[in-house]
Amino acid sequence: MDGAMKVRWGLVVAGGLLAEIGILLVAVPVSFLPAGERALLWAVPPACLVMTFLAGRWTARRAAARFVLHGTLAGVVAAVLYIVATWNQALPLAFIISHGLKVAGGAWGGSYAARPAGVAL
């Protein structure tokens, strides 16, 4: 398998970890607001989409090939990390939906990274 066909798993895992760290950086301060748990239900889903977009873009650019795949896998890693960390815990529907947003955000970031330089959205 040539270099362009390989999945760069180190980058994928790093991207997933970066996404989860970014989500925590948003979620922890929000959890201290007076509305606390209710505020998290509104803050976490968009944070998941945005942070995995950024992590997916970062991962895909460094992979330099198979951009969407690398971004998507970074989102999958982020989702799996949270699923493993919260195994056997009841989660609100918003957090479960957030797993899908992580995968979508990673794919979006990978797709964005694949654009030719200088092309506006």
Total domains in the chain come to: 1
Q: What is the pTM of this model?
A: 0.89
pLDDT at residue 31 is higher than 80: yes
Domain encompassing residue 61 = 9-114
Q: Is residue 4 part of a domain?
A: no
Q: Which runs of consecutive H residues, i.e. helices, occur in 1-121?
A: 9-31, 36-63, 67-85, 93-114
2: in domain? no
User: pLDDT tens for residues 35-93?
Assistant: 888 999 999 999 999 999 999 999 999 998 999 999 999 999 999 999 999 999 999 99
Average pLDDT of the chain to the nearest whole number: 92
As given in the structure block, the two tokens for residue 42 are 């509104």
User: With 70 as the cut, is the pLDDT of residue 2 above it?
Assistant: no
Give the per-residue pLDDT at 115.
85
Q: Please write down the HEC assignment for all residues of 3-25.
A: CCCCCCHHHHHHHHHHHHHHHHH
- Residue 16 placed within a domain: yes
Is 1 domain-assigned? no
Q: Which two tokens stand for residue 39?
A: 């505020």
pLDDT at position 1: 52
Assess if residue 43 is contained within a domain: yes
pLDDT confidence tier of residue 116, bands split at 50, 70 and 90: confident
Q: Is 60 contained in some domain?
A: yes
